[in-house]
């Protein structure tokens, strides 16, 4: 039997996208631990926070006590 759950309590995915890289399949097949991928994002630039698959915020990386975290800079308004 399902229990009643308020909409405010429904879980959803939040993803911090720090950048993208496009590489050929041959490079992908040869990737090893310790290899470095160059991303399209520069250090210090804000990155995107997605809710579900929709970009919603820009943010910067940080720490909260001993855990990795993100600080929301602004809301990304849909066009």
Report the C-alpha gap between 79 and 37 in whole angstroms.
Answer: 31
Domains of the chain: 7-75 (2.30.330.10)
Sign of CA dihedral 38, 39, 41, 47: negative
Say yes or no to pLDDT of 76 above 80.
Answer: yes
Query: Is 47 in contact with 59 (CB distance < 8 Å)?
Result: yes
Confidence of residue 71 (pLDDT cuts 50, 70, 90): very high
Cβ contacts of 76 within 8 Å, gap of 6 or more = 48, 55, 56, 57, 58
Q: What is the pLDDT of residues 3-54, one digit of tens each?
A: 666 777 778 889 998 889 999 999 999 999 999 999 998 888 999 999 888 9
Confidence of residue 67 (pLDDT cuts 50, 70, 90): very high
Query: Is 46 in contact with 59 (CB distance < 8 Å)?
Result: yes
């Amino acid at each position: 039997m399902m229990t009643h759950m308020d909409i405010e309590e429904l879980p959803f995915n939040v993803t911090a996208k720090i950048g993208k890289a496009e590489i050929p399949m041959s490079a992908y097949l040869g990737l090893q631990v310790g290899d470095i991928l160059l991303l399209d994002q520069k250090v210090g630039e804000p990155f995107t926070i997605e809710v579900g698959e929709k970009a919603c915020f820009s943010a910067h990386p940080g720490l909260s006590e001993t855990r990795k975290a993100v600080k929301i800079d602004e809301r990304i308004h849909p066009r």
